[in-house]
């Protein structure tokens, strides 16, 4: 069985997220999603609309996702890959080159993002609507 892992916040779940998860799952047989905790998001300067448990519940309902784990720090990727016997690390191409150091322990694939949608853009548009 080929195991794949991806990481993210997955707030305000949208079709760009679904595209990423579908294409990540196509890289193997079993998809693990490491979901950023609320505390880790705070360290990254991110504020999620949905809390960790709500985001986890949404991800678990998606047919492409086999397991959701918690991401608490930048440094855990290598230990997650070893612990879960991951064959392939997948992430959006906006991170191109940032995780090449993992190539010693698994395949690293940067998938093209869905260009016309992002959580940041959704939040920006909602703020604009709210200010009218």
Report the catalytic residues: 44, 46
State residue 130 phi and psi, 5-degree precision. -65, -25
Place of tokens 């996702």: 65
Alpha-carbon span 79 to 34, nearest angstrom: 12
State residue 3 phi and psi, 5-degree precision. -100, 135
How many Å separate Cα 113 from the centre of its chain? Answer: 12
Alpha-carbon span 117 to 29, nearest angstrom: 27
């Amino acid at each position: 069985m080929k195991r794949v892992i991806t990481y993210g916040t997955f707030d305000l779940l949208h079709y760009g997220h679904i595209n990423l998860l579908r294409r990540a799952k196509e890289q193997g047989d079993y998809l693990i999603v490491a979901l950023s905790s609320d505390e880790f998001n705070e360290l990254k300067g991110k504020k999620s609309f949905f809390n960790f448990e709500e985001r986890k519940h949404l991800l678990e309902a998606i047919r492409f996702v086999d397991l959701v784990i918690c991401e608490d720090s930048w440094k855990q990727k290598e230990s997650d890959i070893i612990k879960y016997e991951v064959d392939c690390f997948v992430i959006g191409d906006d991170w191109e080159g940032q995780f090449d150091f993992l190539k010693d322990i698994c395949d690293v694939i940067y998938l093209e993002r869905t260009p016309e949608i992002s959580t940041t853009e959704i939040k920006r548009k909602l703020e604009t609507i709210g200010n009218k």
